Amino acid sequence: MIEHIKHIKTSGTIVRSSPFLIKRLLRGIDFRRARTVVQFGVGTGCITRALLGRMRSDARLISLELNPVFVGECREEIRDRRLTLRQACAGSLPSLVDELGLGRIDYIVSSLPLAIMDDELVERIIMASEDLLAPDGLFLQYQYSLSQRSMLERRFGDVRVGFTLANIPPAFVYECTPTATPVAAAGGL
Ligand SMILES: C[S@@+](CC[C@H](N)C(=O)[O-])C[C@H]1O[C@@H](n2cnc3c(N)ncnc32)[C@H](O)[C@@H]1O
């Protein structure tokens, strides 16, 4: 909590996500088929732990967090060979995908405080996410307002919005599906 308060401008909150919000956020994930999962904004690691607790033994989680204090604490506390935890900006995802030879991503789970981030960076992260997701993948994001809804609707093929009161503050959950690639453009015809 102290780290969240000290870095309120990049964390966007002062408390960790509630178990109810985490459950609601991860509800859209089919863990039986999730092989490659990416997480943006690890914070205290509560969503990282929840993901690892549900993921297959042969799945992989790549988690990106800007704050070195959070990264250090999570490295100490979460020991799991499926986890690659990097102190890095979510904007570096395309180069990480190349570096780690990831291929298509099944799910991206984001706790990024989009509403207080630089617009150009947010657009870059969202465009790269949409581009790197598998066609049946999902981009999952929680937010404390609907301020980013129209931006997400412009970038993704379909956006569903849920809500939970059981968090401080109450939160919206976005489930975003990538735009379908036309068969011809995908080289299928
Ligand atoms: C709302 S907090 C995450 C809280 C987390 N769900 C928890 O309960 O502890 C957002 C996190 O995103 C991180 N963050 C902000 N901008 C980022 C960026 N561009 N790339 C990666 N992480 C970022 C912040 O450092 C912060 O830890």
**CATH number of the domain bearing residue 73:** 3.40.50.150
CA–centroid distance, 187 to ligand 1, in Å, is 37
In whole numbers, what is the pLDDT of the chain averaged over residues? 92
Residues flanking ligand 1, CB < 6 Å: 7, 10-13, 16-17, 40-41, 43-44, 46-47, 64-67, 70, 89-90, 111-113
Tell whether the model's pLDDT for residue 188 goes beyond 60: no
- Total count of domains within the chain: 1
| Residue 14 belongs to some domain of the structure | yes
Determine the distance separating the centroid of ligand 1 and the alpha carbon of 41, expressed in angstroms.
3
- Ligand 1 pocket, mutate which of 14, 42, 144 (most atoms under 8 A from CB): 42
Residue 187, in any domain of the structure: no
Which residues span the domain enclosing 145? 2-177
Instruction: Kindly indicate the confidence band of residue 15, based on its pLDDT and cuts at 50, 70 and 90.
Output: confident
Q: By C-alpha distance, which of 84, 34, 94 is closest to 59?
A: 34
Question: Does 183 fall in a domain?
Answer: no
The predicted structure's pLDDT at residue 136: 96
pLDDT band at residue 180 using 50, 70 and 90 as cut-offs: confident
- What is the DSSP code string of 88-115? --GGGHHHHHHHHT--SEEEEEE---GG
Q: Is residue 38 part of a domain?
A: yes
Residue 25 forms part of a structural domain: yes
Q: What is the pTM of this model?
A: 0.92
130 belongs to a structural domain: yes
**Within a domain: 186:** no
Look at residue 189 and tell me if it is in a domain. Answer: no
Whether residue 41 has pLDDT greater than 80: yes
pLDDT at residue number 181: 72
